[in-house]
Structure 1
Amino acid sequence: MHNLSAMLVLLLVASPAWGKPSCSEGKVWEDSNRSGTIDANEKPLAGIKVSDGARLATTDEAGIYHLPPIEGRTLFVIKPAGYEFPARADGLPDFWSNLRSEQGPKLKYGGIPATRSACRNFGLWPAQAVAEDGGAPLEVLVFSDTQTKSKTDIDYYKRDIVEPLVGKQRARLGLTLGDVVNDDLSLYPQLNQVTRMLQVPWLHIAGNHDLDFDARHDEESLLTFRNTYGPDTFAWEEREAVFIGLDDVIYRPGQKPAYIGGLREDQFAFLQAYLPTVTKDRLLVIGVHIPFFDAKPGVETFRHADRARLFALLKDFPHVLLLSGHSHTQQHVYHGAVSGWHGSVPLHEYNVGAVCGAFWSGAKDAQGIPDATMADGTPNGYASLQVRAGGAYALAWHPARDPDRALSLHAPKVLRKGAYPAFAVYANVFMGQDDTKVEYRVDGTPWKPMSLVRQADPNLLAENARDDGAEALRGYDRSPEAEPSKHLWRGALPTDLGVGEHRIEVRVHDQGRGEQTASSTYRLQEAAE
């Protein structure tokens, strides 16, 4: 994407005026020379979908869409495959416009200011990347919970996540699954300046820490977010996949809890209008912040009625992937009839780990960056999604300081020769699922299966012990208390081998990245009674 700050594609098809929005149409065209203006030889684009988050319009043969404006909504174009948008002055894709002609509620972080109401013309650029990469899969960077609370945290984000990726990734799209910041919405511009270093079109979904907490009700709670990032409901089409982003945080000021996962009526109206236009030969990705599964047993953390209603709209799509954040751990969940899914195959939800890990906590390394390991033992980092034609996809987790590492090991350093084999090597497989095949061997002996266990990661338990024993704080915040991991495997270590050092090898059959390996050692020694 290229910066088009000097060429804002904001052309009037009606005279600007204060008061209620009156303009009801605009034009979408192929801006082949990327000038930002409609030139005589540039063609209109028919069949392009335009929405205000509830209603859907389609451009005619002249490239004209008709959508009578409604005060307070956000107008946006659904990007068709094979095209891209110019960038706004802040580096974000320029595909939307807020419709607000009257001053909204006074909010701490500004909300959406009143502007002259005008319909938008949208110029789309033929996508060079599509022409250049041939049949290569679609690569998507998936961030969740960047959750910066200060300029210091933004510096961590820059040095830990973004700078190592600059010039080393092939993504055609980036997606942040909410909690972009940690309540301080004034940090959006600074954080965006860091993200734009990646030179990737980037879409943002709202989280519970992106709310205007001084809003009177849910409908006003994302005004500041929308002033920066545009629609809180959107769709984006690539030739390999269709992406739908949904704000699923229902703000309930004055109640406990102050929010719950769910969807609004206008979002269902959008889905009911848009989904019938989506072909079923591509992957359909639904991105949200709060997971669709209940985070606590017996507690409805996402409204079950909304979930069932959404799943009913999706059930006839053969290739669907749900992406969520919020938990600051990660796991894979497969929805079935119990959670209201009645599709032909289980519905896969990948609950993505956090960029900030455990809220940028823990002891700092030599570069001054906090450890940030999450409560399930997953290192902070980001995910990648690779999508091929026909709906096939692969996911991977990339630890910030070692992006190719797929697992971490923990093993004792020394055991007594001949002791009862009650001690083990543990493998935390970051993308592990219940059916993941994890094996180990010692000194090149035949491979043996490891057992999936629901225990806390021993590496994080050791870090908790170091925090407990420290005479002074080891970081701004200590590492989180370890909790049972959903992706931890155990293998007992033999003690009937010779005295000395022995090599442990672990291998994982990862569906997305092939075989992944890690190794460690332990020693056996004689001990007198």
Structure 2
Amino acid sequence: MKKILLPIIISLLMSSPAILNAQKTAEGTVYVDNNNNGELDGNEERLFGVAVSNGSDVVKTNEDGEYSIQINEDDATIFVIKPAGYRLPVNELNQPQFYYIHTPDGSPELEFDGVEPTGPLPEAINFPLLEDVQKNEFSVLLFGDPQPYTEREVEYFDKDIVSELEGTEEYEFGITLGDIVGDDLDLFQPYIESVSKIGLPWFHVYGNHDMNFDANSDSLADETFEATFGPPTYSFNHGNAHFIVLDDVVYPREDGESGYIGGFTDKQFEFIKNDLEYVSEDQLVVIAFHIPIFMPDGWGRTFRIENRDRLFDLLKKYPNTLTLSAHTHIQKFHFFDDKDEWKRLEPHIHYNVGTTNGDWWSGQVDERGIPPTLMRDGTPNGYAMLNIEGNEYTIDYKVADKPEDYRLSKWGPEIVPQDSWHGAELYVNYFLGNEYTEVEFRVQNEWESWRPMNKVEEQDPHVTKLRQKWDTADELPEEGRRPSNPIQSSHLWKAGVPNNLPLGEHTIEIRVTDMFGRTFTDEFKYEIVEPNQ
């Protein structure tokens, strides 16, 4: 056997000197930074069994807390995969510090600055962790697409979203699901300064409006993002949940078409496979990226289906999974089953999160100086909360500048003629609704039993009215921008407004039972009047 293998090995060594020379070994220690000084002191505990990755391979520290991993000499990022029960150090702007970028010559010259030259590989790349209370019940903030195109829009974001969350103690950390800014990467800094006011560690997903469009390869399109936020693909543990953050923006495309498309690279799949080897099957696996893995209606092919199938194959042994995205500027749940190559009996849930900037900060500004920015499906702008207990979860959505119990909008008449042939209709838009949601109604003091409302795929009347206001105006308002056209909403219900009741005011009670079994109620008031003769 040795006589056969030795010539092959010698041949590989002689034929691939460039490959061998490009490989170096990164080494270091993962430790508990008791005094939070960022230095490995002699009395500090070294941590055994902590995962460290180069974005492809994943290794674990030995009994002395030491790791060793091969990297590409010219361009590499090494990061620690935080275990549960620990916190990551953060900088003065609450950005988690868990990675080291090794780019000896720095990023190529681009319109927006990338990574500065890092020089030779350090002798040791150590990762400090901070001890924390193990929490199996916690909540996470989810932001979709802040996407400011100007500093004024950063101010909108700051006033409308950040201001009501400053100093909150209800959440463990936050994640922005891409499109952090709108093409102007100089706005990364004012955005960071704004979101840091919340006071939580904040993770970031790479979006298609966060890239260097003048880059000539996909590997270089994230240089400014990387310099600002760190690696676009990484993972960490919190409680009994394992979070994987992925760059799913492929630019330029590889199929001859222009622009970008959603998908993953072979290197990312290698990382996911190696990462999941250290994730137990009883954990909740949450994967966050920017472009959704379903095809939004009317958008064409926006994600490489073969990549989704490959991801599902890697997740098939995990009974508790959730994927998150943004990008569409609507809010939608999508359920994948066997016809989508999902390998488990229970559907896989993908949550496409409503955005913080709504409909791109459109509409006429209100008394606060902020546009109403209602999304095309009738979802107001706001943010989501992922509430985790063990390996299970629920999701909430908070509308900006509204009470916490504002979960749905209603549209119906103020008055209806008694016994009219052409009855009016009541619409209910439950912002977190889907095919597993039940919406019922009854007339207070008139009906004892609840009756179902019909789930419909129609345009939300609120959105239609806003657009008509702009299109029928004689002149444009002094401030504001025309909103986008309405689309069919995936979370809209309607029913006829009863008019065969006594004259006077009536109250319609509304009851929503959501996919998590939670029940919410609301009311709609209207008046029945004498019909015109």
Per the normalisation by structure 2, the TM-score is 0.91
Percent identity between matched residues is 36
TM superposition shift of 1:500: 2.5
Alpha-carbon contact 2:419-2:500 (below 8 Å) kept: yes
> Residue in 2 aligned with 1:464?
467
Matches within 5 A, 1:351-370: 351-370=352-371
Alpha-carbon contact 1:236-1:243 (below 8 Å) kept: yes
> Residue in 1 aligned with 2:79?
76
> Residue in 2 aligned with 1:436?
437
Secondary structure in 1 aligned to 2:62?
Answer: coil
Q: Which amino acid aligns with 1:328?
A: H
> Residue in 2 aligned with 1:201?
201
**Does residue 1:176 correspond to 2:176, yes or no?**
yes
Distance (whole Å) between structure 1 residues aligned to residue 24 and residue 298 of structure 2: 50
Distance (whole Å) between structure 2 residues aligned to residue 290 and residue 527 of structure 1: 52
Structure 2 unaligned residues grouped into runs of 5+? 1-20
Distance (whole Å) between structure 2 residues aligned to residue 268 and residue 321 of structure 1: 17
TM superposition shift of 1:511: 4.2
**Does residue 1:419 correspond to 2:420, yes or no?**
yes
Secondary structure in 1 aligned to 2:465?
Answer: helix
> Residue in 2 aligned with 1:242?
242
Rg bigger for which structure? Answer: 2
Q: Which amino acid aligns with 1:216?
A: N
TM superposition shift of 1:517: 2.0
Structure 1 unaligned residues grouped into runs of 5+? 1-18
Distance (whole Å) between structure 2 residues aligned to residue 242 and residue 57 of structure 1: 17
Alignment counterpart, residue 524 of structure 1, candidates 518, 522, 528: 528
> Residue in 1 aligned with 2:125?
120
TM superposition shift of 1:512: 4.5
Q: Which amino acid aligns with 1:126?
A: E
Query: 1:100-136: CA deviations, max 9, x gaps?
Result: 0013321111122212332421111001xx26xx66x
Distance (whole Å) between structure 1 residues aligned to residue 138 and residue 264 of structure 2: 28
Per the normalisation by structure 1, the TM-score is 0.92
Distance (whole Å) between structure 1 residues aligned to residue 63 and residue 455 of structure 2: 58
Alignment counterpart, residue 105 of structure 1, candidates 104, 108, 130: 108
**Does residue 1:490 correspond to 2:494, yes or no?**
yes
Distance (whole Å) between structure 2 residues aligned to residue 192 and residue 234 of structure 1: 20
Query: 1:43-86: CA deviations, max 9, x gaps?
Result: 11111111121111211111111113322221111111011111
Q: How has the CA–CA distance of structure 1 residues 404 and 169 changed in structure 2, closer, same or farther, with 3 Å as cutoff?
A: farther
* The 10-residue stretch of structure 1 (30-39 or 323-332) with the greater mean CA deviation from structure 2: 30-39
Distance (whole Å) between structure 1 residues aligned to residue 415 and residue 491 of structure 2: 25
Alpha-carbon contact 1:416-1:526 (below 8 Å) kept: yes
Alpha-carbon contact 2:439-2:512 (below 8 Å) kept: yes
Distance (whole Å) between structure 1 residues aligned to residue 373 and residue 76 of structure 2: 38
Alpha-carbon contact 2:377-2:490 (below 8 Å) kept: yes
Query: 1:182-214: CA deviations, max 9, x gaps?
Result: 101111111111111111111111111111000
TM-align CA RMSD: 1.9
Query: 1:479-507: CA deviations, max 9, x gaps?
Result: 22111100000011111122222222211
Distance (whole Å) between structure 2 residues aligned to residue 226 and residue 39 of structure 1: 29
TM superposition shift of 1:165: 1.2
Alignment counterpart, residue 58 of structure 1, candidates 50, 57, 60: 60
Alpha-carbon contact 1:408-1:518 (below 8 Å) kept: no
**Does residue 1:500 correspond to 2:501, yes or no?**
no
Alpha-carbon contact 2:423-2:499 (below 8 Å) kept: no
Q: Which amino acid aligns with 2:456?
A: V
Matches within 5 A, 1:71-470: 71-117=74-120, 118=122, 119-127=124-132, 130=133, 137-252=137-252, 256-296=257-297, 299-389=300-390, 391-402=391-402, 403-420=404-421, 422-444=423-445, 445-446=447-448, 447-470=450-473
Q: Which amino acid aligns with 1:527?
A: P
> Residue in 2 aligned with 1:480?
484
Q: How has the CA–CA distance of structure 1 residues 442 and 299 changed in structure 2, closer, same or farther, with 3 Å as cutoff?
A: same
Alpha-carbon contact 2:106-2:114 (below 8 Å) kept: no
Distance (whole Å) between structure 2 residues aligned to residue 239 and residue 89 of structure 1: 25
Distance (whole Å) between structure 2 residues aligned to residue 527 and residue 278 of structure 1: 67
Alpha-carbon contact 1:147-1:356 (below 8 Å) kept: yes
